[in-house]
């Protein structure tokens, strides 16, 4: 199973930016896709962004399109989530995840991921 460690969370005012990092280790074959999910108190975990690791194809939730960017550094085995123009509605625990199920398009469904990080808190104040 892939080990994932997130970093880069924190507190920021509305309109600000943060970058999350997810370092992956413990695998022989690189996961087909990696994603970022978030979960606010009392809400279900939702997919935010995902990337197909072979060709960098991204997939974004409508709520973050144009504001968030997912990328990867293969040499560092790290996936990033650049978050710009943050709003209080973006406040949540953010989780990195990895999966490989044969799909060629990175999914945003939690059920398609089998490795998860411990989470990084992002808090946006108004």
Spell out the residues 6+ positions from residue 37 whose beta carbon is closer than 8 angstroms to its own: 45, 46, 47, 48, 94, 95, 96, 97, 108, 110, 113
Q: What is the pLDDT of residue 17?
A: 98
Could you report the per-residue pLDDT of 70-91, keeping only the tens digit for each?
999 999 999 999 999 999 999 9
Tens-digit pLDDT profile for residues 8-66: 999 999 999 999 999 999 998 889 999 999 999 999 999 999 999 999 999 999 999 99
Kindly give the pairing relationship between strand 58-60 and strand 78-83.
Answer: unpaired
Phi, psi (deg, nearest 5) at residue 18: -145, 155
């Amino acid at each position: 199973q892939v080990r994932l460690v997130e970093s880069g969370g924190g507190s920021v005012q509305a309109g600000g930016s943060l970058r999350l990092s997810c370092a992956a280790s413990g695998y022989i074959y690189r996961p087909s896709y990696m994603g970022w999910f978030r979960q606010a108190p009392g809400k279900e975990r939702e997919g935010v962004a995902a990337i197909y690791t072979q060709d960098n194809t991204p997939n974004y939730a409508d709520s973050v399109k144009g504001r968030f960017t997912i990328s990867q550094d293969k040499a560092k085995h790290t996936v990033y989530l650049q978050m710009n123009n943050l709003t209080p509605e973006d406040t949540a625990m953010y989780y990195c995840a990895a999966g490989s199920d044969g799909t060629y398009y990175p999914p945003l469904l939690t059920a398609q991921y089998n490795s998860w990080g411990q989470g990084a808190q992002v808090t946006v104040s108004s």
